[in-house]
Amino acid sequence: MKGIAYFPGCSLKETAKDFEISAIAVMDALGIPLIELKRWNCCGTVFSLTSDDLMHHIASVRNLIRAQEMESPEVVVLCSMCFNTLKRVSLRVNRDEESLTKINAFMNKELDYAGEVEVKHLLEILRDRIGWEQVSEKVIHPLDGVSIAAYYGCTLVRPHEVGIDDTETPTVLQEMIESLGATAVSFPFQTECCGSYQIVDRRDLVINRSYRILSSAQRAGAQVLITACPLCQYNLDEAQTELAERLPDYTSIPVLYFTQAIALALGVEAGTIPDLLAESLVGQEIPKKEETTR
Amino acid sequence: MPQPRIGIFVCHCGLNIKRTVDTQAITEALGEYPGVAFATDYDYMCSDPGQRLIKEAITEQRLTGIVIAACSPAMHEPTFRRAAEEAGMNPYLCEMANIREQCSWVHQDREAATKKALRIVNTIIEKVRGNHPLEPVEIDHVNKCLVIGAGIAGIQAALDVAESGFAVILVEKEPTIGGHMAQLSETFPTLDCSQCILTPKMVEVSRHPNITLLTYSEVVNVSGYVGNYTVTIRKNPTYVDPDKCNLCGDCENVCPESTESEFERGLVQRKAIYIPFRQAIPSSYTLDEETCLGLRPLRCNECAKVCDPKAIDYDMLPEIIEEEVAAIIVATGYELHPISSLGEYGAGLIPDVIDGLQFERLLSASGPTGGEVRRPSDGKIPKKVVFVQCAGSRDPEHHNAYCSKICCMYTSKHALLYRHVVPDGEAVIFYIDIRAGGKGYEEFVQHAIEEERILYLRGKVSKIYREGDHVIVWGVDTLSNRLVEIEADLVVLAISIDPHPSNPILSKVLKISCDAEGFFKEAHPKLRPVESLTAGIFLAGAGEGPKDIPEAVSQGSGAAAKAVTLLVQEKLSHSPEVVDINENICSGCGICVNMCPYAALAVNGGGVAEVNEVLCEGCGTCVSACPTGAAQLKNMTTKQLNNMIEVALRDV
């Protein structure tokens, strides 16, 4: 199989289409195409912490069975929330034979899950399998002079056993940003939660949190903010719309998926990018490749 | 051989044994056992009347061996063996059958426990039947003591042993003695200046005729046994002759290379040739080879050029020193948990988030700011300081599970001293709870809260970050149930105490164990707190667990008393329950030599194995490995063991 088994999740087919479009284009360009799982379903969304609540892990396990059917030892995920849920379930059932047996017994219409599929985030593939140097070499439009804030949110790095990097001081996104030629901006709120699902019934809480995140990034000099989470992206953008109305002085900042930034630098399909940003990111003058791979 | 006349003494241990084991029934049954001449039971065998009962029975019944059915031999074997000896019986003919820890305490079914107790006693009767009178092995010993580590605990231990008239070798890894105590400003709860009370002791160490001080040195190997340890010490070259150095400091002025000062906890730089602080002992400069531009080949000889007394010698080599000592006191001390591991508190990347020892240096009159509290980033006097307790302590998920014990007190002291130096400054302390157990400690904390206007907030700090000129602290006040956000000028973390990094290395060299956290393990947490499980090796200070100064000093004195108790004995004795080689059947194969964990065996010139009885611990490894059966443990021969197994399993 050339490529890697890939679980999109619901958001990527609806509100976060740009995330998927850019990721597919980037991975094609890097030579490891994403192969979408057949018949995948919702990841399960929230990992149930109740120790005897196996029912809520079934959605995730079904997706792991889809990867197993492809004879893939791993499945790569883009949305950090889906990643978090799938990874936690895989850690739970891959290690605990009793849970695995129970779940398999319950799903009598499915193949038994063998407990061997590893869940990876796309950033792990880029960092550990491809390497930032390789990414750098494929850059044709270096994002010189652009300051990009690395916003992690929570589900990419927490809890510790699931996180793809240090829980408190992660660096993977900064490394990625630097590999594209841009300036990585670290800021104190980069691992703060945006408010997540509270957007449904405690809208103000999310707006307030988002404001602190966005303004902290801007104070640190960011021109763009990147994320790996469709919900963070939604919340931050939603907040910005409202902030623009409430605070006359507030200047919005584009919130992109990290794959869109890579796609821009690699010169591949990046999804929708605000015009002004596309201009400032890629510039009118597109530098020649020799200059960039110096 | 005369018929054995064995006496059985069944102890009730109050209700500890009697509740679960029918002591009367087993006493009656044991009276019928072949070879038993006398059996009785009593409330507390270990009591004076209990021991008198045993002694009288030994004489009146002309007993040839006795079994005390009571607690673990680890508890009272010495008690009963001494009683037997007083009645004229060889102590090694007295054995204990453990029917408490291994029976009554762990069972509830009285009938089954009684049967099991009977079986246990039967096996020990079989052992006593085969026992022979033995005499303890006597050992000559040397009259020196080694102390590893010259912080306050090691200094106290060295001085006490030396004052008792014995020679002491005091080894310190750093260029000076004094340890962490030398870095402190003032000490809780009496606020006396740390250096003022420490330096007289340091001077005493350097002048004491019985103390040989080896600084910049490490213990690299230890062999031998209690009374006769052979110690190998590597003295690293300081490249400065302490006898010639006159502390003029000319070398320091011309030295072009610098690095972070360890003594000042990185708040300032020091040169490659340096003295940690003015009162350092030995009173001499040290050339740090790693920071120096280079000695081999010599890259720069500026320091030697300006050295008037010609004290600098670039050709100095490490010295290997061998010493024979009777006892070893281990006082390695502690190190702070790395600040870089505290990501939520800035991982050491925020200049104005410092650790407690750094704050001590800022408060110290001899520190880099001359006792003015000025923050590292811009030298401003901070007007709002947040102190965070339990930074890395009591956090089993991420850092250390244990309490570091001294932080509640020193944080209170820090805040108080800060308020004295900066009267218009605000001090806020985040705490989980306040542990101020110690003479005058609670009163000190109460004074700080009530009189010094220090704000104590009960709760953890979740995040610390830099924003412009300030350090922002996010915490929670669990008493008012509110989230707190403070714009501070300086944050002081009471960082958890780690065991000294040399602990794992020394634990291998000395063959003493560390606990799961890496602190040296004491022989008994309550009753033998300054002893290791290895005879002749004693523990003192924070290398054994977090401790404040009074405790470290007490332990130093305690360990010294233990070492002196050993040194004053004319001869040391060793249990005679060791292995014995039957030369007639030993084939000299040498298998036992390789198996022995104590290096107590060797094949001698006559082609048979020979035991060094002093080294043998009687573990029996060689016995099970010996293909001919030549190796036998005294009073636990294979024959005895087989008999014991047979009665243990009889009718099962």
Query: B162-165: long-range contacts at Cβ-Cβ below 8 A with a sequence spacing of 24 or more?
Result: B162/B208, B162/B210, B162/B211, B163/B210, B164/B560, B164/B564, B164/B567, B164/B568, B165/B210
Cβ contact, residue pair B472, A168, below 8 Å? no
**Tens digits of per-residue pLDDT, A100-134?**
999 999 988 888 999 999 999 999 999 999 999 99
Q: List the domains of chain A with CATH numbers.
A: 4-123 (1.20.1050.140), 132-292 (3.40.50.11810)
- Average pLDDT in the B48-75 region? 95
In 3-state terms chain A splits into helix, strand, coil percentages (rounded to 5) of 50, 10, 40
Pairwise CA distance, residues B41 & B37, whole Å: 14
Kindly indicate the confidence band of residue A55, based on its pLDDT and cuts at 50, 70 and 90.
Answer: confident
**What is the residue-averaged pLDDT of chain B?**
95
* Distances, alpha carbon A71 to alpha carbons A5, A64, A66, A250, B255, in Å: 9, 11, 9, 51, 66
State which residue of chain B sits closest to A167, comparing Cα positions: B343
Higher pLDDT, A210 or B296: A210
B102 pLDDT higher than 90? yes
pLDDT tens string B300-321: 989 999 999 999 999 999 999 9
User: CA A81, A82, A88, A92 torsion: positive or negative?
Assistant: positive
pLDDT at A187: 94
Rounded to 10 deg, the angle between the A17-29 and A258-266 helix axes is: 40
B473 to chain A, minimum CA–CA distance in Å?
Answer: 11
Q: Which residue of A has its CA nearest to B344?
A: A168
Residues of A with CB under 8 A from a CB of B: 160, 166-169, 188, 216, 219
Question: Residue B334 pLDDT more than 90?
Answer: yes
Distance separating alpha carbons of residues B270 and B262, to the nearest angstrom: 8
The pLDDT-based confidence of A283 (bands split at 50, 70, 90) is low
Residue of A167, A169, A189, A205 for testing the chain B interface, max B β-carbons within 10 Å: A169
| B343 to A219: CB separation less than 8 angstroms, yes or no | no
Residue in chain A closest to B465 (alpha carbons) equals A188
A197/chain B closest Cα distance in angstroms: 21
Average pLDDT, chain A: 90
Chain A residues in contact with B347 (beta carbon < 8 A): 168-169
With bands split at pLDDT 50, 70 and 90, how would you rate the model's confidence at A288?
A: very low
Mean pLDDT across B251-267: 95
pLDDT at A293: 38
Tokens of A280: 């400032």
Contact B472 A167 (CB under 8 A): no
Nearest CA in chain B to A166: B343
Measure B472 CA to nearest chain A CA, in Å: 10
Q: Which two tokens stand for residue B387?
A: 């102190």
Name the token pair of A137: 């070499």
Q: How confident is the model at residue A53 (pLDDT cuts 50, 70, 90)?
A: confident
When mean pLDDT is compared across A104-113, A231-240, B83-92, the lowest value belongs to A104-113
DSSP characters over A260-288 = HHHHHHHTS------HHHHHHHH-SSPPP
Which residue of B lies nearest to A192 if distances are taken between CA atoms? B463
With cut-offs at 50, 70 and 90, classify the pLDDT of residue B533.
confident
Mean pLDDT of B612-617: 87
Beta bridge partners, B466, equal: B471
pLDDT of residue A54: 87
Q: How far is B488 from chain A (nearest CA, A)?
A: 15
Contact pairs from chain A to chain B, CB under 8 Å: 16
Q: Identify the band that residue A282 occupies on the pLDDT scale cut at 50, 70 and 90.
A: low
- pLDDT tens per residue, range A143-157: 988 999 999 999 999
Kindly report the number of other CB atoms within 10 A of residue A247's CB atom.
11
**Which residue from A169, A188, A216 is facing B347, i.e. has the nearest CB?**
A169
Q: Where do runs of H (alpha helix) occur along B406-548?
A: 407-421, 441-450, 503-510
Q: What pLDDT is recorded for position B590?
A: 92
Provide the pLDDT for residue A294.
35
Q: Is the pTM of this model over 0.80?
A: yes
Backbone angles phi, psi at B127, to 5 degrees: -65, -50
ipTM: 0.81
Specify the pLDDT at position A289. 35
Q: Smallest Cβ distance to B465: which of A160, A166, A188?
A: A188
For each of the domains in chain B, give its residue range(s) and CATH number, in order of start.
Answer: 6-135 (3.40.50), 144-236+318-333+511-567 (3.50.50.60), 250-306 (no CATH), 337-498 (3.50.50.60), 578-633 (3.30.70.20)
Provide mean pLDDT across the span B523-546.
93
Q: What is the per-residue DSSP string for B38-91?
A: EEEEES-TTSHHHHHHHHHHHHHTT-SEEEEEES-HHHHHHHHHHHHHHTT--G
Q: Place A1 in a pLDDT band, splitting at 50, 70 and 90.
A: low
Is A292's pLDDT higher than 50? Answer: no
Question: pLDDT tens, B338-365?
Answer: 999 999 999 899 999 999 999 999 999 9
Closest in B342, B347, B467 to A188, CB measured? B467
Which of A134-138, B2-6, B336-340 has the lowest average pLDDT? Answer: B2-6
CA-angle at B161, arms to B280 and B241, nearest 5°: 30
Q: What is the pLDDT of residues B446-457, one digit of tens each?
A: 999 999 999 999
What pLDDT sits at residue A279? 67
Cβ atoms within 10 Å of B103's Cβ, excluding its own = 24
B449-484 pLDDT tens trace: 999 999 999 999 999 999 989 999 999 999 999 999
B379 CA: distance to closest CA in chain A (Å): 23
C-alpha span between B17 and B44 (Å, rounded): 10
pLDDT at residue A280 tops 70: no
- The SS3 assignment for B546 reads coil
- Give a three-class secondary structure readout of B596-608: CCCCCEEECCCCC
Burial status of residue A38 (CB atoms within 10 A of its CB: 0-12, 13-18, 19 or more): exposed
Query: In B, what residues contact A, Cβ < 8 A?
Result: 342-344, 347, 398, 463, 465-467, 472
Answer whether residue B506 shows pLDDT above 90.
yes
- The answer to whether the CB atoms of B344 and A168 lie below 8 A apart is yes
Task: Indicate the residue of B343, B466, B472 with minimum beta-carbon distance to A169.
Answer: B343
Kindly tell me if the per-residue pLDDT of B30 is higher than 90.
yes
Instruction: Over range B153-172, report the average pLDDT.
Output: 98
- Report the range of poorest mean pLDDT among A52-61, A178-187, B271-280: A52-61
| Residue A16 confidence (pLDDT) above 60 | yes
Three-state DSSP state, A88: helix
Closest Cα in chain B, distance from residue A189 (Å): 9
Q: Which residues of A touch B342 (CB under 8 A)?
A: 168
B contacts of A168 (beta carbons < 8 Å): 342-344, 347
> Is B343 in Cβ contact with A167 (below 8 Å)?
yes
Chain B residues close to A169, C-beta within 8 Å: 343, 347
Q: Please state, in angstroms and rounded to a whole number, the distance separating the CA atoms of residues A273 and B621.
A: 75
HSE-CB of B630 using CA atoms within 13 angstroms:
21
Residues of B in contact with A219 (CB under 8 A): 467
Residue B287 pLDDT grade (very low, low, confident, very high; cuts 50, 70, 90): very high
Average pLDDT over residues B376-389: 97
Is the pLDDT confidence value at A285 over 50? Answer: no
